[in-house]
Chain A
Amino acid sequence: MKPLDHSRMPDSFGASNPIISVSGLSKTYASGFQALRKVDLEIRRGEIFALLGPNGAGKTTLISIICGIVNPSTGTVTADGHDIIRDYRPARTKIGLVPQELTTDAFESVWATVNFSRGLFGKPANPAYVEKILKDLSLWEKKNTKIMALSGGMKRRVMIAKALSHEPKILFLDEPTAGVDVELRRDMWNMVRGLRESGVTIILTTHYIEEAEEMADRIGVINKGEIILVEDKHVLMQKLGKKQLTLHLQNPLADLPADLRSEHLHLSADGADLIYTFDTQSDETGIATLLRRLNEHGIHFKDLRTSESSLEDIFVSLVRGRS
């Protein structure tokens, strides 16, 4: 049975009316480096989309083009129905960006820099709203502090506050938790969930697969400038996930009986564990047969456990497979 491809299913969530639509997007830098190759991608309204990929895969280039920082070579992008080049004003008004690097002014106060961002994006001053953002991000006590006096984690919060200052509908987080401590990472995840609940669409890139696993509704994998897969997170894990059954034996084995040898069955180095790998998608897992045959050989076990492969394993096997 083929798994359902959720990414192609129209639903009330707005798959037929994506908030961001990228088509045929390519980018070749002046150095000749081709960062993106004919990328097609649709982001649904209100979802959290995680873009995964190794360093240099094109994640930041893709985001930079959508946000107007880098010119595309070919292809088009629309944000909430507006072409990002022809109708850049309405398109950019909808978008907030938290870039990867901690690029902030040094001498400005937190309060001044967040209000600057709001004005820059064409919104009239709204001290009450800015106050709310700063409080949500635990920055309110630091509002009069110069940015250069803040810690790295606090600067990251300032950059998020700047990106949210103009009430965007789409938020890009480029490696939001790189170099961030566990506590702030948790805070950030909670904040992202809160934003999604208020209707903001979130696109995040990350190295941390646990982050995508924890946060995302859908996952896209990019490698060498190409989107190699876009899939609902659960479907992806189900489709590509492998399960392992580990049997802890009563008496360690020196070697596997010859007729049990297969690529799916391994004996641990100390001979105490038998590890059987099976595909969650196949109808016949082979577990029943394995147990029966072990019994025939007089091999008994005293404990068993199963484990699923994480998104990280899936990701590594995908990227390796293509390179």
Chain B
Amino acid sequence: MNVYGIKAIYLFEMARTWRTLMQSIASPVLSTSLYFIVFGSAIGSRMAHIDGVSYGAFIVPGLIMLSLLTESISNASFGIYMPKFTGTIYEILSAPISAIETVIGYVGAAATKSVIIGTIILVTARLFVDFSIEHPVWMIAFLVLTSVTFSLFGFIIGVWADSFQKLQVIPLMIVTPLAFLGGSFYSISMLPPFWQKVALFNPVVYLVSGFRWSFYGVADVDVGISLGMTFLFMLICLAAIWWIFRTGYKIKA
């Protein structure tokens, strides 16, 4: 096990986070604040409680999830795309470090950043609305699990992308719509029956629902299913990464 190698990649990636502190942390805080002002205060005051939770508090878990997904994907995909783009990946490829160790370094750093951002948003949200966390351990578990899973997904996108445009296209065209339609701002029980069924094909529904359950003890779908679906998605990502390194797909000629 090349522990020094994992540490080198992890610290390199974290250094990138600290260097870009403003855009890494200030921008999610700003956008979350805006969401709370618009959805929480302006619209939320006219909305009824959902499942016994005020609308402002109801959207907190969904907003954190939204940021976790986008930040995990963008940070992890950028982390592996840049060495490919500049050519510095030669050093990773020529180093005595295994595929798993490389992934632990990159994905670990991306997930760490996401957890930090999620925590900051949580604290920021507390300034706007009052909420409680019923199952804090589960809340942290979902936070970490989601960060890791979507950082793995981001890593795959970073390997797949061979242009900056491709790097943006999946987060923009697929993840953001899925996140918005995944019940971040509403309960899927508010949808017409047909669309409720459709929503169940959206993986983000399970994440948001499970995460919200850890806050308020209410969920759209059973928390066990939420957990299972998150793990399933993680396994799919791990399998894809295993295949990438085995074949050298887009990394090794």
Known contacts A105-B86, A105-B88; A120/B253 CB under 8 A:
no
Known A-B contacts A103-B88, A103-B90, A105-B86; the reply to A122 vs B96 at CB < 8 A is yes
Cβ of A189 under 8 Å from chain B: no
Chain B, interface size category, equals 20 to 34
Known: A103-B86, A107-B19. A120 touches B93 (CB 8 A): no
> What sequence of 0s and 1s flags, for each residue 42-66 of chain A, a beta carbon within 8 Å of any chain B beta carbon?
0000000000000000000000100
Please count the residue pairs between chain A and chain B whose beta carbons lie under 8 angstroms apart in the complex. 83
Q: A97 an interface residue at 8 Å Cβ cutoff? A: yes
Contact with A along B237-252 (1 / 0, CB 8 A): 0000000000010001
A124 CB contacts on chain B under 8 angstroms? 4
Q: With an 8 A cutoff between CB atoms, is B92 at the interface?
A: yes
B132 CB within 8 Å of chain A: no
Question: Which bracket fits the contact residues of A?
Answer: 35 or more
Choose from B4, B15, B252 the contact partner of A70 (Cβ within 8 Å). B252
Q: Are B252 and A69 in contact (CB under 8 A)?
A: yes
Contacts of A107 in B (CB 8 A): 16, 19
Q: Which residues of chain B from 217 to 253 have a CB within 8 Å of any chain A CB?
A: 248, 252-253
Q: CA separation between A92 and B8, bound complex, in Å?
A: 17
Bound complex: CA of A162 vs CA of B97, how far in Å?
16
Contact between A122 and B94, CB atoms less than 8 A apart:
no
Cα–Cα, bound, A274→B91 (Å)? 56
Interface flag for B141 (CB, 8 Å)? no
Which chain B residues lie closer than 8 Å to A14 at the CB level?
none
CA A68 to CA B16, docked complex, whole Å:
26
Which one, B2, B11, B94, contacts A68 given CB within 8 A?
B94
Nearest CB in chain B to that of A63: its residue? B94
User: Would you call A71 and B19 a contact (CB within 8 A)?
Assistant: no
Q: Decide if A101 is an interface residue (CB 8 Å cutoff).
A: yes
**Nearest CB of B to A264, in Å:** 48
A116 in the interface (beta carbon within 8 A): yes
Interface set of A (CB-CB < 8 Å, partner B): 29-30, 64, 67-71, 88-93, 95, 97, 99, 101, 103-108, 112, 115-124, 162
Known A-B contacts: A92-B94, A122-B4. Give 12 more (CB < 8 A): A30-B253, A69-B90, A69-B94, A69-B253, A71-B248, A71-B253, A91-B96, A93-B96, A97-B91, A120-B92, A121-B96, A122-B95
Closest CB pairs A-B (n = 9):
A119-B8, A103-B87, A92-B96, A89-B96, A67-B94, A122-B2, A119-B4, A120-B95, A120-B8
